[in-house]
Structure 1
Amino acid sequence: MQPPALAVVGWSGSGKTTLLTRLVPELRQRGLRVGVVKHSSDAHPLHRRGSDTARYTESGATFVAFANPAGVQLSFPEPPEAVLSLLARFADSVDLVLVEGWKHGPLPKLEVWREGLGPLLAATRHDVLAVVGDSPVPEGVKCFTRDDVPAIADFLQQCLRDGVLRATEGP
């Protein structure tokens, strides 16, 4: 079973990472176990070229882990779409997974929007539940300011209670 998940989307520079680094502690303070996935549309190596872990990946390992005193990083040679099935392995250890990015993925979305960076996705996408931004958004779209992290956390907790943080078919 896949854990509840939400994609936090927006154009580059809109403030997604900043919001997440403020939202995770707020949700944890409320007792939620939160996982975070960074999704990138740019292809870049997960392991430094020529490193032992890159060589293990190239050899066809089912997974590669890098462990040191700071923690463990685990990678799988799977396409980005496989993230949902991989997350199912952690369903018992998290209450919510926040995915930074993945605009075109099947998850419900919280859009972080800053005027001038790109068009507002919520204007044309039914899977955007709310917008975080300081500019006016179309009427009928739930909107939060960037500094209202407690209200955003309240909203996410309500979404969890309502069961709306599940993957859907198509955008």
Structure 2
Amino acid sequence: MRLIGLAGWSGAGKTTLLAKLIPCLIGQGLRVSTIKHAHHRFDVDQPGKDSWLHRQAGAAQVLVASSQRWALMTELRDAPEPSLEELLGQLAPVDLVLVEGFKRDGHPKLEVRREANGKPWLHPGDPMIRAVAADTPNPAGLPQAGLDAVEAVAALVLDHAAPWRS
């Protein structure tokens, strides 16, 4: 598996870009998975549902399955948050993993930046940023594509994704 992260400030367009990028990469014959770092209190379950009741009762893991998909929820309780490396180990093998969040981790990244946010560039402080998707030129001269140039961003992703050490 190869991986690359999309790093940027909130509102830069990371999720929007990923939603366009995934079908573009799949269209090139790649199997793609994603890992998204979420807010501390996120929940995929709904209060009152059977799986929610199982978790509230103290189940360490709840696996919900149907003919369309399955999902495994693991309660951390007092355990530390898993690292990106640990989470990658949970994925089935694919050609490419796209990581959203985990911007402080040491994996190759593509910076996503929107000038209207008024936020500074991340790449001067992060040597793992290899390329940029932005609406203004980056001052370091890193390889760059426009935010809406999905095929050009896909090329940058493929050029700069690195093998994950499993």
Q: Distance in 2 between matches of 1:130 and 1:98?
A: 14
| Equivalences for residues 56-67 of structure 1 within 5 A | 56-67=54-65
Q: Distance in 2 between matches of 1:41 and 1:105?
A: 16
After TM superposition, give the deviation of residue 98 of structure 1 in Å. 0.8
After TM superposition, give the deviation of residue 81 of structure 1 in Å. 3.1
Check if 1:84 corresponds to 2:79.
no
Secondary structure at 2:47 match in 1: coil
The aligned residue for residue 6 of structure 1 is: 4
Q: Deviations over 1:76-118 (max 9, x none)?
A: 23454344323224353x1111122222233321111011422
After TM superposition, give the deviation of residue 148 of structure 1 in Å. 2.0
Gaps in structure 1 of 5+ consecutive residues: none
Alignment length, in residue pairs? 161
The aligned residue for residue 152 of structure 1 is: 153
Secondary structure at 2:89 match in 1: helix
After TM superposition, give the deviation of residue 139 of structure 1 in Å. 2.9
Secondary structure at 1:81 match in 2: coil
Q: Distance in 2 between matches of 1:57 and 1:120?
A: 41
Q: Deviations over 1:42-91 (max 9, x none)?
A: 42233223432223234443432233454222222345434432322435
> Considering only aligned residues, what root-mean-square deviation do their CA atoms show, in Å?
2.4
| TM-score, with length taken from structure 2 | 0.81
After TM superposition, give the deviation of residue 165 of structure 1 in Å. 4.7
Secondary structure at 2:115 match in 1: coil
Q: Distance in 1 between matches of 2:106 and 2:45?
A: 27
Is the alpha carbon distance of 1:105 and 1:63 closer, same or farther for their aligned partners in structure 2, counting shifts above 3 Å? farther
Is the alpha carbon distance of 1:106 and 1:65 closer, same or farther for their aligned partners in structure 2, counting shifts above 3 Å? farther
Q: CA contact under 8 A between 1:123 and 1:138: conserved in structure 2?
A: no
Check if 1:132 corresponds to 2:133.
yes
Gaps in structure 2 of 5+ consecutive residues: none
Q: Distance in 1 between matches of 2:132 and 2:120?
A: 12
Q: CA contact under 8 A between 1:110 and 1:129: conserved in structure 2?
A: yes
Q: CA contact under 8 A between 2:7 and 2:100: conserved in structure 1?
A: yes
Q: CA contact under 8 A between 1:122 and 1:141: conserved in structure 2?
A: no
Q: CA contact under 8 A between 2:55 and 2:62: conserved in structure 1?
A: yes
| Equivalences for residues 1-171 of structure 1 within 5 A | 3-78=1-76, 79-92=80-93, 94-117=94-117, 118-160=119-161, 164-166=162-164
